[in-house]
């Protein structure tokens, strides 16, 4: 099957290919990481099929912003700090809780503190991914209806 030029590919296929290249992975390496056959990945990247829920969840674990992958909105990398004009005064409860966490972390040695922060960050990232997926499902359901 001849390859379509990149510009004529569906947007999801283009973004998936772009993400794979950003990760510096071959199609084979990404397919193995996603636990799918390379032929399935090729169909995604050639715009023949679109990844389903299980594959999207696996892609999310690679660090891609699923909202960006599916819609083009937002930043490519889910781990990037969003560009926001956040003001602590907008959410005093959050500021209070984060200050309390910082105070608790002061009494822990550096290695343990780093591990705790990594765990907190990981849990927040996962919660954000789930929220993004829920928003996408809601938006896609509205488009279909």
How do residues 72-131 score in pLDDT, each as one tens digit?
888 888 865 555 555 667 778 888 888 888 888 888 888 888 888 888 888 888 888 888
Query: Do 59 and 90 have their domain in common?
Result: no
Query: Do 74 and 5 have their domain in common?
Result: yes
* Inter-CA distances, 57 with 88, 108, 110, Å: 32, 34, 33
Q: Domain total for the chain?
A: 2
Q: What residue numbers bound the domain in which 114 lies?
A: 86-145
94 vs 38, higher pLDDT: 38
Query: Do 25 and 96 have their domain in common?
Result: no
Q: What gap in Å lies between CA 38 and CA 105, rounded to an integer? A: 45
Model-level pTM?
Answer: 0.56
The residue-averaged pLDDT of 60-68 equals 87
Among 59, 78, 97, residue at a domain's last position: 78
* Inter-CA distances, 112 with 23, 51, 108, 120, Å: 29, 38, 6, 12
pLDDT reported for residue 56: 85
Let me know: does 136 contact 71? Beta carbons within 8 Å. Answer: yes
* Inter-CA distances, 29 with 24, 32, 70, 108, Å: 9, 5, 21, 39
């Amino acid at each position: 099957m001849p390859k379509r030029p990149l510009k004529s590919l569906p947007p999801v296929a283009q973004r998936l290919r772009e993400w794979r290249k950003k990760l510096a992975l071959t199609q084979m390496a990404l397919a193995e990481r996603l636990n799918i056959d390379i032929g399935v990945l090729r169909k995604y990247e050639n715009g023949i099929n679109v990844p389903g829920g299980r594959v999207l969840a696996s892609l999310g674990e690679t660090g891609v912003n699923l909202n960006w992958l599916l819609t083009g909105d937002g930043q490519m990398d889910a781990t990037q700090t969003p560009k926001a004009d956040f003001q602590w005064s907008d959410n005093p409860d959050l500021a209070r809780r984060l200050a309390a966490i910082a105070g608790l972390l002061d009494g822990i040695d550096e290695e343990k503190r780093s591990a705790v922060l990594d765990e907190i960050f990981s849990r927040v990232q996962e919660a954000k991914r789930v929220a993004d997926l829920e928003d996408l499902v809601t938006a896609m359901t509205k488009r279909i209806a």
